[in-house]
């Protein structure tokens, strides 16, 4: 598919390519829809190429929002209307996706659903009502394919906080953390996934199917499909030791809002001597806030967790993967009056179990309909990349055909089966879902918009079809979604 295709590009944008910069700016201003042109915009976001100084000797060139990484924190109020101007100063038509908000298709920011592009050197004005409350984010939604400058590999990530009418849990102050890697490269895969999900029950039939397909491919002499790795790691765009420390006082209750802005990676986070009380997942308050020693955050997931600062010192808040933390994935937490070298202590082994945050009620309401989905991998089948299928079909960017039909008002259950050994962070656009079964264990009350499905595992999530229009479902791993791991729902 041609990313630079002129779908929905306005005439002014085409003209802009051939005109000097000063006229270009005037021309692009005119591409704003005239209907809302008298209204003032509440926010302006500028997509442009720029530099991000991860450390004085590690400055990367990438695309960012409004010249900074992460993009500006947008604080919204639940249920209020907002007008946003999105300028695109790059040569590539862009999409800006409002991840986790129940917005209409023309705002959502996914070409697959029919959102118009923000033209290259152009402007798009959008207006929408903000919600639901909690930690959301905005990011690009372009296919990157083999281009490691595009899509989520770029610096186009920014947090959104929609203030709820009632905060989950008392706290003294908030700290936003955006976890993100830079300087990506391809490698021949075959990496083992970290083993941290609970319940760990695998489905024998899925394992046999996945393993035999892999064996057959390797027996034919195929190498492993490409995977993505990174040279540089950062929290809030600074490598460990190069940003401002998080300065705290003894006894303070800090509410951390953590966003995994990675294109492909699962992240972990620990703070020696402290525990995280998880109060919200993907911005939604959990029924049972529980203390955990380590946060595990899949690609595009968010965790809001309270930490009581009750262990004075200078500490490393960082990823438990030593290599990644040493290459930058950490930030200093410094108590008032304490100096010295930040200390890291490896946390005791623990597992990440979404069910611990669930409601005491074991079962969710029965769905009106069940939709079965099986995810499978064809090793290295697409120009050396793994090709991904949902129910035997890789998504076609040319056809963009809906695979599933929804009827408004019905409650659907997605019964998802993973016939691969990879963990997939699965995302549904414009709707939130309730976790109802994980690896055979029933649950209720945890509301999310991304969930990690373990290798050869099963999971069920329910959602209500309450936001008409095309709705994209996909794995949030860029190298998976780009090679087939997407499906469209449409309302009948």
* Binding residues vs Cu ion (CB under 5 A): 424, 475, 477, 480
Residue pair 433/448 in contact by the 8 Å Cβ criterion: yes
Residue 477: CB minimum distance to Cu ion, A? 4
DSSP SS3 for 420? coil
**45 or 376, CB closer to Cu ion?**
376
- Cα angle: 309, vertex 165, 355; to 5 degrees: 60
Residue 423: CB minimum distance to Cu ion, A? 8
**101 or 477, CB closer to Cu ion?**
477
**125 or 424, CB closer to Cu ion?**
424
Question: Whose CA is closest to 159, among 69, 269, 95?
Answer: 69
Residue 460: CB minimum distance to Cu ion, A? 18
Residue 6: CB minimum distance to Cu ion, A? 30
Q: Which helix (H) or strand (E) holds 15?
A: helix 11-16
CA distances from 195 to 199, 260, 436 (A): 11, 18, 22
Please identify which residue in the block is written with the tokens 């705002």: 107
- Cα angle: 145, vertex 147, 151; to 5 degrees: 75
Residue ranges with strand state E in 383-477: 385-390, 402-406, 411-418, 424-428, 433-438, 441-442, 447-448, 450-453, 458-464, 471-475
**306 or 428, CB closer to Cu ion?**
428
Q: Which residue's CB comes closest to Cu ion? A: 475
Q: Which helix (H) or strand (E) holds 214?
A: helix 204-219
Residue 436: CB minimum distance to Cu ion, A? 21
Torsion angle (degrees, nearest 10) of CA 46, 50, 53, 57:
180
Residue 387: CB minimum distance to Cu ion, A? 12
**139 or 480, CB closer to Cu ion?**
480
Please spell the DSSP secondary structure of 287-298, one letter per residue. Answer: EEEEEES-EEE-
Residue 404: CB minimum distance to Cu ion, A? 18
**141 or 424, CB closer to Cu ion?**
424
DSSP SS3 for 11? helix
**318 or 455, CB closer to Cu ion?**
455
């Amino acid at each position: 598919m041609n990313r630079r295709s002129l779908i929905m590009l306005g005439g002014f944008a085409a003209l802009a390519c051939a005109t000097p910069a000063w006229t270009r700016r005037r021309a692009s201003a005119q591409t704003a829809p005239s209907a809302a042109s008298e209204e003032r915009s509440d926010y302006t976001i500028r997509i442009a190429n720029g530099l991000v100084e991860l450390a004085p000797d590690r400055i990367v060139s990438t695309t960012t929002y409004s010249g900074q990484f992460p993009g500006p924190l947008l604080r919204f109020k639940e249920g209020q209307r907002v007008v946003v101007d999105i300028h695109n100063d790059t040569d590539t038509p862009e999409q800006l996706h409002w991840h986790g908000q129940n917005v209409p298709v023309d705002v959502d920011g996914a070409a697959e659903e029919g959102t118009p592009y923000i033209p290259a050197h152009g402007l798009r004005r959008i207006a929408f009502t903000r919600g639901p409350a909690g930690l959301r984010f905005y990011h690009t939604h372009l296919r990157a394919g083999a281009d490691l400058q595009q899509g989520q590999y770029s610096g186009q990530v920014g947090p959104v906080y929609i203030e709820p009418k009632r905060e989950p849990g008392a706290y003294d102050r908030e700290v936003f953390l955006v976890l993100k890697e830079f300087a990506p490269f391809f490698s021949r895969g075959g990496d083992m996934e970290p083993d941290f999900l609970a319940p760990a029950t695998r489905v024998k039939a899925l394992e046999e199917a996945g393993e035999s397909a892999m064996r057959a491919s390797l027996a034919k002499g195929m190498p492993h499909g490409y995977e993505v790795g990174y040279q540089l790691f950062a929290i809030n765009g600074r490598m460990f030791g190069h940003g401002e420390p998080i300065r705290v006082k003894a006894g303070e209750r800090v509410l951390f809002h953590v966003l995994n802005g990675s294109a492909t990676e699962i992240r972990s986070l620990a703070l020696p001597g402290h525990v995280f009380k998880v109060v919200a997942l993907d911005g939604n308050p959990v029924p049972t806030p529980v203390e955990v020693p380590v946060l595990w955050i899949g690609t595009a997931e968010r965790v809001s967790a309270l930490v009581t600062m009750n262990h004075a010192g200078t500490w490393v808040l960082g990823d438990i993967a030593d290599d990644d933390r040493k290459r930058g994935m950490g930030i200093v937490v410094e108590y008032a009056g304490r100096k010295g070298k930040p200390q890291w202590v490896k946390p005791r082994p623990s597992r990440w179990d979404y069910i611990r945050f669930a409601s005491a009620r074991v079962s969710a309401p029965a769905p009106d309909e069940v939709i079965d989905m099986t995810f499978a991998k064809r090793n290295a089948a697409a120009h050396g990349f793994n090709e991904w299928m949902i129910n035997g079909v890789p998504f076609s960017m040319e056809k963009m055909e809906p695979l599933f039909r929804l009827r408004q008002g019905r409650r659907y259950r997605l019964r998802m089966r993973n016939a691969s050994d990879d963990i997939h962070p699965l995302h549904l656009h414009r709707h939130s879902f309730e976790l109802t079964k994980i690896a055979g264990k029933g649950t209720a009350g945890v509301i999310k918009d991304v969930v990690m499905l373990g290798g050869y595992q099963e999971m069920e999530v329910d959602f209500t079809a309450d936001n008409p229009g095309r709705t994209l479902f996909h794995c949030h791993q860029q190298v998976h979604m780009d090679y087939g791991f997407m499906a469209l729902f449409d309302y009948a």
